[in-house]
Amino acid sequence: MIRKLVFGFAGLALLVFSGISFYQSRRLKEPVVVSDGVTQVVRLSKYFSGVEGTANDCNMYILEGKEPGATFCILGGTHPEEPAGRLAAWIFAENAVLQKGRLIVVLSANRSATTVTRVGGAYPPEFSIPTSWGEQGFRMGDRWSNPLDQWPDPEVYIHYPSGQYLAYVDVRNLNRCWPGRPNGTLTERTTYAFMEMIRKEKVDIVIDLHEAELQYPVISTIVSHEKAQDLAAIVSMTLTDMEGFKMGMEFSPKNLHGLSHREIGDFSDAAGLLFEAPEPFLDATRGKTNTEQLLTGKDDFVVRAGQHGLLFEKIDANGWPIDKRVGRHTSAVLQTMVSWTEMHPDKPMVCDSIPRYADVVARGLGQYLRNPALAKPGRIWYE
């Protein structure tokens, strides 16, 4: 009996310890000190009440220029385990000032997925970015919606409306659930709400920010719907020529469904672009799965995989630091705005106060995160 009590209390201690850790991680508050350029912050449920009160009723930061122009939307956090996408969007929400056009910034497109880490993946629950005023913490997140918000998964996920069969787990993958449906799962209702927003706000370009493992062929590239192929091609060439990093361009496959770059273009007047940056943390051959690896992108095992010709992107002992990955995204978004304006002078998009790749690498991402302690009243929001 004493043995049972000892084992029972040990189990209870493990349950309480892990339970508190998961509970706190799920509710970690991430402050956003919005830029002076942000004129409105609305919830996703404004566009579709089916997500009201759910984990995915995320904030949307709307910036309006002094002059009219195009409307762009930046989606960060489609896959929260790809943090450069969220952090690049964060820089826009906290720093951008628009001269012409309108910008809608989303930091947690799949907010539910920011509240969980990969089951069995031993991911760190959160990570911190050093700044001049201290450290800012962020939830690590996963690729899929939290099973606490949408469960169980089906045997096979049948995409709506194409009827295409996809991996069962992708029923919780925001980037396999476009264009969604109003009576579907939480993830499908979320993409449906975004589609409603895109249609009602007459968005011209949606940019979905991602990262990819180096063993994945779709990396360091722009994936473009056919509506935006010319734009993507010129952005790709300009970035590769002028910014000091390679950026490819690929066509969105017409028969692969559920992805933002395919369905947004097919089901709205907007065109979808998806940007990929390299993230060694996602590689199956990685070594330690810890915060240092996540932020430095250094990994001897991934380097060895590269020496054996198994990778689609270069890597050396310097890794792929988070500053480089975020800088790639900020430059790619800014260049998309510049090239769009050159191609559509009647519908310009001009954005100031955002650092390009070289600035983020030189000064560090933390220099562009604002101190919540110094925020003016009403200018701080939480993700």
Binding site for other proteins (CB under 8 A): 3-4, 7-8, 10-11, 14-15, 18-19, 22-23, 116, 119, 147-148, 151-152, 185
Nearer to other proteins, 18 or 318 (CB): 18
Q: Of 7 and 133, which has the nearer Cβ to other proteins? A: 7
Task: Kindly tell me the burial class for residue 212, based on how many C-beta atoms sit within 10 Å of its own C-beta (0-12, 13-18, 19 or more).
Answer: buried
Q: Are 302 and 214 in contact (CB under 8 A)?
A: yes
* Residue (133 or 151) nearer to other proteins, CB: 151
CB of 19 to other proteins, least distance (A): 4
Q: Tell the smallest beta-carbon distance from residue 145 to other proteins (Å).
A: 13
Least gap, CB of 154 to other proteins (angstroms): 9
Closest approach, Cβ 7 to other proteins, in A, equals 5
Judge contact between 81 and 65, C-beta under 8 A: no
Taking the complex as a whole, the smallest distance from the CB of residue 328 to other proteins amounts, in Å, to: 33
Q: Is the peptide bond before 179 cis (omega within 30 degrees of 0)?
A: yes
Q: H-helix or E-strand containing 198?
A: helix 186-200
Smallest separation, CB 181 to other proteins (Å): 12
Angle between helices 260-267 and 186-200 (to 10 degrees): 50
Nearer to other proteins, 22 or 216 (CB): 22
Residue 228 makes CB contacts below 8 A (sequence gap 6+) with 205, 265, 271, 272, 273
Of the pair 26, 347, the CB lying nearest other proteins is at 26
The DSSP 8-state label assigned to residue 152 in this structure reads P
φ/ψ of residue 91, rounded to 5: -60, -40
- 17 vs 251, beta carbon nearer other proteins: 17
